Amino acid sequence: MAELLQQLINGLSLGAIYALIALGYTMVYGVLRFINFAHSDVFMVGAFVGWYAVNQWRIPSGTILSGLLVLGLAMGVCALLGVTIEKLAYKPLRNRSTLTVLITAIGVSLLLQNAGQKVFGANPKAYPALFPTSQFHFAGVMVSSNQLVVLVVTILLLGGLHFVVHHTKIGTAMRAVSFNATAASLVGIHIDGVISFTFALGSALAGAGGVLYAINYPSIDPFMGTMPGLKAFVAAVLGGIGNLPGAALGGLLIGLVETFVSGTRASTFRDAIAFAILILILLLRPAGLLGKLRVEKV
Amino acid sequence: MLPRSQILLLASLILAGVVSAFSGNMDTYFLDVAMGVGISVVLASSLNLINGFTGQFSLGHAGFMAVGAYTSAMITTTLGPKFGWSQLGLQWVLFPASLLVGGLLSALAGLAVGAPSLRLKGDYLAIVTLGFGEIIKVVLQNVEAVGGARGLVAVPGHTNLFWTFGTAALTVYVVWALMNSTYGRGFLAVADDEVAAEAMGLNTTRYKIIAFAVGSFFAGIAGGLYAHLKGYLNPTGFDFNKSIEIVIMVILGGMGKHVGVIVAAVVLTAVQEPLRQLGDWRMILYALILILLMILRPQGLFVWPLWTKKTT
Amino acid sequence: MKNLTSPRRVFLAALAAAALVGCKPSENSAPAAGGGGDTSGDIIVGEFASLTGTEAAFGQSSHKGTQLAFEQVNAAGGALGRKFKHLVEDTQSKAGESATIARKFVSRDKVVAVLGEVASGRSLEAAPVCQQFGVPMISPSSTNPKVTEIGDFIFRVCFIDPFQGKLISEFATKTLKAKKVAILSDVSSAYSVGLAQYFRESFVASGGQIVIEQKYSNKDKDFKAQLTAIKAAGVDGILVPGYYNEVGLIVKQARELGVMVPMFGGDGWEAQELIQIAGGEALQNTYYSTHFSPANKAPEAQSFVDAFKARFNGETPDAMAALGYDSARALVEAIKKAGTTEGKKLKEELAAIDFVGATGRTKLDAKRDAAKPAVIITTEGGKFKFLQSIEP
């Protein structure tokens, strides 16, 4: 029983991080209709910003306040990076085919990874403890303070995101662009501005995800984004891409399934699981659990 | 009188054979790189059929390559000794047969992936094929019979210039012939406008599946050639990065261009040798080229006016 | 007609490519002769190493050791009155590169011998080429037994996984008194899978029991699921035959989950980053076997440590550096003894080599593997501590 409960907690804390990354994928997809492959590398940059903040820029670590400061810093830098990428690489391709944009996104992803390897070095780096850490044990089950931080931050960010999208002017504009970009521009919505904002928001989430991931798994390297990124993408598709609660739900589900599989003899097939789920969901319910099917119009 | 294209195919096959016969005193490094170039041409041309001509986007070509590589290597390493290697000429039967079986199995895998997932569009398909490639890698790591994570050792070095360049010529010919047949118009229609093609009564899914099957068939053969060139297989050699390398060749060469893609495959493979000292700069360079290319010259790098033929 | 222009060009391109191959003047004939029969000029040695990519930490370390050895030998006048020229190529930690590099070494650079690599997978790729062309190859730290099984031109200066697996097993049963053990291995690594197997064989043979076996993949970060299952199985020791990057996270997460039993592994643990990632406290009660400890008091080891520190800004050498150093030393010794750089003679001298290097006495057995002492290292107060030395 304790084992089952422990696995549930393990799965939820892993799933919360997937959810955080998945939100960024889903937001960009909702507005622009393309998979931002570079999202997982912005996530990596977020983690490294945290590392530099503590080890190079000498921001003290170990208190809640300084932890939040570093988190905010990483989110800010990533938002900036996201907007820059959008302006330089994606904007010139606004009306080109999805494939062109997809290839560009892969290019940006490769660039961030390999430039990262050049700048940060290929060796994994140990991550500092940003928040005060402790573990709580009860009934044979362990919860670490870092896991709680992840859960709390994810819930807060999800709530904030929901508020922005549904109860603010820019959020309404985002939904309008997502629904019909041409019509939105006709009623006077500044499309470029909305897209930039979406990228800033999505990348900030990736940055937060990077830092939270790194404090839970304190070894970071320039290629750390690839796997969580892919799994978060699967989560976004599972929940219904373009759907915010769906991304969160998908993230938690993937985290749970992976954890329960890893706890059995089949642990060796762990990396294949997420992809098997993806293939199944695309075949059985392409719109995802919470998504609505779109018919392609000419 | 044979059509010109077939004469050219025969001529290049004969030439490959002649050159191969005199390759005994070429230095081994040159041969290794030359055969690597040939294998790249096979991989890039076959992916070009899927990603270029048919307008799909596969990120799992290395996975199909792995299927062919492991299949043919298993055949030559297990069946080979049973028949006795010393018998002259046997290698000329068993090796191509193993390549063929590897290619067929790979095509089967292509069908298995293609049939259900080809209802998906662009980026979804990209991710599914990527996932499929990863699944193959994970499965290979877990099958002890093919060496698992420790890899498959002592694969005989049967690959020579004839087989690599013969296969390369054959691949190019098949892709070319397919695209220039009436049937080939279907692929282009799918690439140009899927909705319109479907409205015209074209079974777009069928074309996509055929493209996948033929493309993975040759990827499998390329895998077999690779296995018998390097002599050692490890699942980690067929990861996502390998797929990306092939994709880059196709994009740089110009998606849906025969010659451009061949030139890109040759140049990118050969240039790796002098660039090895650059180490990690190489991938940074590739990435930058990829981004700039998509913005400034989406038709590809190795396509200049002289060679740009409107395929419609 | 327009349609026909395209295929012609396609085939012309293919023909041109084939013709290119055909016209290429053959610069080198006589493959079987073995590179370096030359008797004048520099003695050329090729090293292939993973200087970038996932195993760069090991590759760089090993490379530094090799570099130091050749610098020292050249400063002391070289061998046979000739200096050494040390060529290096980067495998980028990728499959497929090593064989090409080995071919370049033997045919273009005409090397006398090839040195490399840390990862068994890549040594296995280059070894058949060196064997075919009769150029001796010395691997500094590939511990998979298959490497030297390739042929009689392939050597190594480190012990092999069966030995390492056995000694970890003996350490677990005798010193730690472990009876029920869990294994958590890296399914994507040849090294990890092999070490786990040899440990299992030896441990079961000595009456121990493997209660549960769990797997992970290279670059995984979350091991809580596997560790929770191991915890529930109730063991008194965990074998983690992986590389330091994952091991650090595993140890840390295990301790967080309240798994306090001893954890142990092999030479893949060897890196300062292990302590940084896991933290000194979590590493209490963990042990690993390796080839070398900088705390070793032997004069050869100490002079190596001093020279290394002086050369590389005070950096303390690890086992990979020491083995990289010894691989070059073994080659130099063999060349001096053989009095020639000719492949066959060199091969015989290498097989009979017996010298004391940074990692202790290096003597090869009939399978061309080094039989040499291993050391067990533990962690105390956030620092690696030499625990004991085990003779073969």
| Band (C28; pLDDT cuts 50, 70, 90) | very low
Would you say residue C60 lies in a domain? yes
Interval C58-99: pLDDT, tens: 888 899 999 999 999 999 888 888 888 899 998 888 888 898
Would you say residue C16 lies in a domain? no
Which residues of chain A fall short of a pLDDT of 70? 1, 292-298
Contact between A105 and A88 under an 8 Å Cβ cutoff? The reply is: no
B258 contact C CB<8A: yes
A165 Cα to chain B: minimum distance (Å): 25
Mark out chain C residues that contact chain A at CB-CB < 8 A.
52-54, 56-57, 187, 213-217, 219-222, 224-226, 228-229, 231-232, 245, 248-249, 252, 256-258, 273, 276-277
Are C281 and C200 within one domain? yes
Going by the DSSP 8-state scheme, the letter that residue C206 receives in this structure is T
| Band (B310; pLDDT cuts 50, 70, 90) | very low
Residue C35 vs residue A213, higher pLDDT? A213
Are C349 and C239 within one domain? no
Chain C CB contacts of B279 under 8 Å are: 51-52, 90, 92
Would you say residue A231 lies in a domain? no
Q: What is the pLDDT of residue C115?
A: 94
CB contact under 8 A, A269 and B142: yes
Number of independent structural domains in chain C: 2
Displacement of CA A87 from its chain's centroid (Å) = 20
Rounded average pLDDT over C219-244: 88
Are C77 and C37 within one domain? yes
pLDDT at C47 over 90: yes
Q: Which residues contact B126 (CB under 8 A, 6 or more apart)?
A: A35, A102, B57, B58, B59
The CATH number of the structural domain formed by B28-307 is 1.10.3470
Would you say residue C250 lies in a domain? yes
Are C60 and C126 within one domain? yes
Residue B311 vs residue C142, higher pLDDT? C142
Q: What is the average pLDDT score of chain C?
A: 84
Domain ranges for chain B? 28-307
Percent of chain C whose predicted confidence (pLDDT) is above 90: 26
B92 Cα to chain A: minimum distance (Å): 38
pLDDT at C239 over 90: yes
Chain A CB contacts of B142 under 8 Å are: 268-269
C51 contact B CB<8A: yes
CB contact under 8 A, A270 and C217: yes
Q: What is the pLDDT of residue B3?
A: 72
Q: Which of A233-247, B154-168, C13-27, C249-263 has the highest mean pLDDT?
A: C249-263
pLDDT at C3 over 50: no
CB contact under 8 A, A10 and C228: yes
pLDDT at C257 over 90: no
Determine the residue type at B154. Answer: A
CB contact under 8 A, C221 and A123: no
Cβ–Cβ contacts within 10 Å for residue C261, how many? Answer: 18
Number of independent structural domains in chain A: 1
Would you say residue C8 lies in a domain? no
Question: Count of residues for chain A?
Answer: 298
SS3 A167: helix
Q: For C222-247, b where at least 16 C-beta lie within 10 A, e where not — what string?
A: bbbbbbbbbbbeebbbbbbbbbbbbb
Would you say residue A98 lies in a domain? yes
| Band (B312; pLDDT cuts 50, 70, 90) | very low
pLDDT at C218 over 90: no
Residue in chain C closest to B235 (alpha carbons) equals C188
Determine the residue type at C14. Answer: A
Going by the DSSP 8-state scheme, the letter that residue A86 receives in this structure is I
Contact between B176 and B261 under an 8 Å Cβ cutoff? The reply is: no
The Cα–Cα gap between A235 and A253 comes to: 8
The Cα–Cα gap between A19 and C375 comes to: 45
Would you say residue A64 lies in a domain? yes
C86, β-bridge pairs: C45
Q: What is the pLDDT of residue C32?
A: 41
* CATH code for position C252: 3.40.50.2300
Are C207 and C286 within one domain? yes
Q: What is the pLDDT of residue A56?
A: 79
| Band (C27; pLDDT cuts 50, 70, 90) | very low
pLDDT at B41 over 90: yes
Would you say residue C382 lies in a domain? no
Q: How far are the Cα atoms of B26, C10, C13, C19 from residue B270, in angstroms, in the given order?
A: 17, 19, 15, 16
Instruction: Kindly report the backbone phi and psi dihedral angles of residue C361, in degrees, each rounded to the nearest multiple of 5, phi listed first.
Output: -70, 125
DSSP string, B231-247: S-B-GGGGSHHHHHHHH
Mark out chain A residues that contact chain C at CB-CB < 8 A.
2-3, 6-7, 10-11, 14, 117, 122-127, 135, 137, 142, 144, 213, 216-219, 221, 223-224, 226-228, 258-265, 267-268, 270-271
Are C155 and C36 within one domain? yes
Helix (H) or strand (E) holding C264: strand C263-265
Helix (H) or strand (E) holding B5: helix B4-21
C116 Cα to chain A: minimum distance (Å): 20
Task: For chain C, state the CA radius of gyration.
Answer: 23
Which residue range is the domain that position C349 belongs to?
Answer: 32-159+297-372
CB contact under 8 A, B26 and C90: no
Interval B257-268: pLDDT, tens: 888 888 888 888
Q: Which of C222, C256, C290 is the last residue of a domain?
A: C290
B104, β-bridge pairs: none
Q: What is the pLDDT of residue C9?
A: 54
Rounded average pLDDT over B52-80: 88
pLDDT at C15 over 50: no
DSSP alpha helix (H) spans, chain C: 2-23, 56-75, 97-104, 120-132, 146-149, 161-170, 190-205, 224-233, 244-256, 272-278, 299-311, 319-338, 343-351
Q: What is the pLDDT of residue C6?
A: 52
Rounded average pLDDT over B65-92: 77
Are C355 and C279 within one domain? no
Mark out chain A residues that contact chain B at CB-CB < 8 A.
34-35, 89, 92-93, 96, 98-104, 106-111, 113-115, 117-118, 122, 226, 230, 233-234, 237, 268-269, 271-272, 274-276, 278-279, 282-283, 286, 296, 298
Q: What is the pLDDT of residue A151?
A: 86
Interval A135-180: pLDDT, tens: 787 777 888 888 888 888 888 988 888 898 889 998 888 888 888 8
Q: What is the pLDDT of residue B183?
A: 79
Interval B124-136: pLDDT, tens: 788 888 888 888 8
Residue in chain C closest to B232 (alpha carbons) equals C125
Q: What is the pLDDT of residue C2?
A: 41
Q: What is the pLDDT of residue C30?
A: 37
pLDDT at C324 over 90: yes
Q: What is the average pLDDT score of chain B?
A: 82
A1 Cα to chain C: minimum distance (Å): 10
CB contact under 8 A, C229 and A258: no
Would you say residue C180 lies in a domain? yes
Determine the residue type at C166. Answer: K
Chain C CB contacts of A125 under 8 Å are: 273, 276
Helix (H) or strand (E) holding B97: helix B91-117
Q: What is the pLDDT of residue A295?
A: 54
CB contact under 8 A, C216 and A270: yes
Are C200 and C303 within one domain? no
Which residue range is the domain that position A75 belongs to?
Answer: 19-225
